[in-house]
Every structure is written in structure tokens, then in C-alpha cells.
Amino acid sequence: MRAENITGPVAHHGEGPVWSPTWGGLRFVDMMAGDLLTLQPDATVARRHVGDYATMVRPRSQGGYVVGLERGLALVDDEDPASPVRPFPELWSDTTIRLNDGSATPDGAFYAGSMPFDDRAGAGALFRVEPDGAARLVLSDVTCSNGLGFSPDGALAYYVDTLTCRVDVFDYDPDADEPLANRRALVEIPREDGLPDGLTVDAEGGVWVALWGGSAVRRYAPDGSLTEVVELPASHVTACTFGGADLDELYITTSRLMIGEPFEPEVDAGSVFRVVPGVAGLPVLPFAG
């Protein structure tokens, strides 16, 4: 499958696409610019600056949205552009580490993952943030915490620590002392094929993984077999999500990060792409905070 460029280059480091009817469609981040981008009907984007970094975004079950900043999450109560950004307490104080990706969970919590600016091994982590803002460490010794998604029944969590070159799967039980258990590899991706980045899960349990440096998104079945490949004319593919009225369109973000100017032949880098893959996605999980 080949994806269609629907925006042209609109972000330096496009990341974290999420479709939600609460904000009228597709939203993603221009991470290093600290901006939230909302796709408009005419394929332009509306921007809102939220901080030095905008690392992730998800809807809230009571309205508004939760957004990742540099070292913690923040709440916005509604879609009014003037509505204040209300930070939770920072998850750590080390200024050499920032948030990178995360997701709400089936039970309404939020998992937020970090990475060091210098990519030093094991300096990142994954935190569980409760609706009241209380947080705890759930996974340490992470280098680049990236895609996180859940199986249709909520019993499995799929997770990427990018520099492991794997997509891992955990058993997920929010009531257990260790909610993420029995970690094992779903698939190991040869480094020359690209590094696994953001991911999303479809209604059949397939895991769609963006490949940074790989010019592609791949779908893996729940048994780890490769079933689909979406090709893109941009090498740094960052993340993907299902959207559209029937959640049957796959939206894909890309980046210009680490590509020297002039951007040729990467003229499409930083664009949002779309493809109709023949399978529907799952509704986005909201944060209960």
C-alpha cells in the first residue's frame, strides 16, 4: 500500500496523531516546537502553543484534553484556544530527560514514557499517572519510550522501546501490583529496516508500527507475523492512528528531524499521510483525569 500526502510539510517533528470526535478529527504534535496541531477540513492545520515541548495528546473523558509537556502532563478543560494549560506535578526534575510518548489506558489512567536527550542507554522510564495526578514508576531501564497501545479486549499492552528494535507485549491488569507483566517480544525488526516508533492497534488486534528511518508503517498480526506494509516517500515515519467517521483510515505523521537542509529529496518529510488499509481501528482511549 502507498499512502497519500494530505497536508504537505506542516511540522518539523510531527508526532502522536490521535483522532477524536471531541476535537473534530485529527490532532497531532509538532514536538520540538511545543505546538498542538489540529487538521482542518481544508487540510490546513490550526496550531496552539502549549510549552517548550508538546509530546503527546489524548482526549479527557470529562471534556478537554491531556497534553504531554517536557517533564509531565497537563490538563486543558475545553477546546477554547484561551483555555489555560494546567500542569500536573512534574514526573522528575532531571533536565536531561523529556517525555516522548504515551497513551491513556482502558481503565482511564495514563502511561507516559520518557527518553534522555543524549540517547544514553537505560535513562528513560515509563510512568503510570492516575486521574488525580498521582504517579508511579512502572518500567525503568528504558532508552527511548515510544509507542503504546492496547488489544481490543484491553488484556494486552503493546510497547516500543525504540533502540531495542522490538515491539514487546505485556499482559495488562490495572488491579495488579505490577500492571504490566510477562514481557515478551511480539516481533524483532532488523535495524536496517528502520527503528520501531509510534504504534496503533486495529479492531482485529493487528499492531501497526511506524518505522523511523524505514519509510514505512508495518502491520503485525497478534502472532507477530507481518501482514501489511504501507510505503511512504519520507524516511522518518513517526506514528500512526486510525480516524475518519468509521475509523477506517490510517493517518501517519512524519518528521524532518535529523534531515539536513535543503530537505530534497525528503520534500514530503513533515507531512501527514493517509491510507485506507481495509481494516478499522479502535476508538481512542480517554484519560479520566
d(CA 259, CA 235) in angstroms, rounded, equals 9
**Contact of 84 with 102, CB cutoff 8 Å:** no
> Which one, of 182, 181, 148, 187, lies nearest residue 164 by Cα?
187
Q: Which of 197, 202, 248, 268 is catalytic?
A: 197
Q: Is 211 exposed, middle or buried (0-12, 13-18, 19+ CB in 10 A)?
A: buried
d(CA 174, CA 157) in angstroms, rounded, equals 11
End-to-end alpha-carbon separation of the chain, Å? 38
Half-sphere exposure of 175 (CA within 13 A, CB side): 2
| Set of cell numbers at residue 52 | 517548550
Q: What is the DSSP string of 242-253?
A: EESTTS-EEEEE
Q: Is 118 a catalytic residue?
A: no
d(CA 160, CA 165) in angstroms, rounded, equals 8
Three-class SS state of 164: helix
Residues that are catalytic = 197
